[in-house]
Amino acid sequence: MPINRRLYSLVIRLAVPVLLVRLLWRSRRHSGYRSEIWRRLGIYGRHRPPRSGERVWIHAVSVGETLAIAPIVQRLLAERPDLTVLLTSTTPTGAEQVKQKFGSRVEWCWAPFDTPGAARRFLMHWQPALGVLVETEIWPNLLTHAAARGVPMVLLNARLSERSARRYARVAGLTRQTLGHLGRVAAQTESDASRLRSLGAADEAVIVTGSLKFALDRNALREANEQERLQFGTSAFDRPVWLAASTHPGEEEPVLEAFARLKAEHGNALLMLAPRHPDRVPGILGMPAMRQYQVVRHSAYLRSEGDTDDAGEGATGASLTHQDDVLVVDTLGHLGALTGCADAVFVGGSLIPHGGHNPLEAAAWCLPIISGPHTFNFSGIYRDLLEANAALEVEAGTLATAVLDCLGGQADTEQITAMGERAGAYQSAQEGVVERQWAVLAAHLP
C-alpha cells in the first residue's frame, strides 16, 4: 500500500509512546536521554528564545554530524555575527559535542520527533529564517511544515547509501514529496547525488561538493596531540600503539583477541580503546578479557590531580606507564588528537552491519587503516582507500592477522609506512570542500 504523509504521520504518532519508553530505557546508561524530554514533543513551556537577529537552524543528529558541520558553524559565527545560530541534536553525546565546541555562542535544543504537532510547534517557537539538515536527516513533517511557513531548507554534506536508498524507495511517493521541499542539496559524491535525484530531489537543486569529513585542520590536530603527549609524558607512547576507534557491541571481543596476539609479540604494546558511546565503558571494563590487563581511563587525566575515586572498576589512577596495557578513551572531543599517538588504527562499526565510521582522522595522521567489511556509511571513501592500497579490509576472524601485519615483529615497516602515506595523500587531495559547502549555505542566508 502506498504510504502518504497522512499515513506516515499516523504511524509516527502511534510510535511516540514507544519512542519515549526507548529514551527512558537508554537513560539508564546516559541520563541525558531523559533531560528536557518534553522538548522532543515541541513543548517549551514558558521558555522564550531571545531575539538577537534572524535565526539559522542547523540539525546535526549526533557526534559525527556535529564534528562534520563544525567548520561551517565556525565560519557562520565568524562571518555573520548578526545571525543567531540554533543547533539541534538527537543524542546526548551530540549535545555534549555542541556545548564543548561552541558553548554559549550558539543556542541548542533537542530536535523534535517528526510528528505534525511537534514539527509545527518547534518551527513556531524558534522561528528560523533558514533550516540546514546534515547528511541523511530527511524528515517529512519537518520539511513539509517548514515549506508551509516559507522556511527554506538546505541539506549539507548529504549522503545516501544504497541500503538507505532501497528503504526510501519503498515509500517512493512520500520520499519524492519530502525531497522536493529541499532548496539545495550538497551531496558528498556523484553516487549520493544520483540516488537523491532518483528518489525525487530536483536535478537543479543537487550539486556534488565532496564530504565535510575531509575538512580536518591538521595544525589544530598537531597542537592538540602535543598537549596529549605532554599530559601523558613524552615516553608514554614509545612502544607499539594500536587504536581501536569508535567500537560497537560485538567488536571489543575480536579487538581484545587481536591485542592478546600483539602482546604475545610485543609485551609492552598499548591498546587505545575508544568505544563510540562512552556510556558503554563500565560494561567493557567488566569483560573477562579485560581483567588480565592494567587499564587506565582517559577521563582520569582530565580531572584535578588526585581526583580518581570514580575512575571505575578495572582502572588505575592518572599515570600512564609502560606497565599499563589499555588506555580506554571515555571522553569526547579528544580522539582526533589521540589518533596521532597510534601506529595503526582499526575503525569500528565495520565488523558489524552498522556501516562504519569516518577513517579520515587516521588518514590525516598518515596511519595504516584497518576496517571490517561493513562500511556502507562511507562506501566511497573506503573504496578509494582500498583501491589506493591505503587501507586493509578484514573480517572479525582475520583482524589479529592484519594488526600483526602492521605492528607485529615480522611487519614490513617500509610497506606499512607507505600505506599510511597513501592514506594521508588521499585525505590532502580532497581540500576545498568547506569552501564549496559554505558557498551553498551562504547563498541561502538571510
Q: Which residues are catalytic?
A: 65
Could you tell me which residues are beta bridge partners of residue 156?
A: 134
Confirm if 203 and 197 have CB atoms less than 8 A apart: yes
E strands, 159-257, in order:
182-187, 206-208, 241-247
Confirm if 373 and 349 have CB atoms less than 8 A apart: no
Query: In 3D, which of 163, 154, 143 has the Cα closest to residue 206?
Result: 154
Confirm if 247 and 259 have CB atoms less than 8 A apart: no
Q: What is the DSSP string of 401-428?
A: HHHHHHHSTT--HHHHHHHHHHHHHHHH
Can you tell me the distance from the alpha carbon of 415 to that of 204, in angstroms, rounded to the nearest whole number? 45
CB atoms within 10 A of CB 291: 11
Q: What is the dihedral of CA 393, 394, 395, 396, to 10 degrees?
A: -120
Residue 18's H or E segment, with its range, is helix 5-26
Can you tell me the distance from the alpha carbon of 86 to that of 103, in angstroms, rounded to the nearest whole number? 12
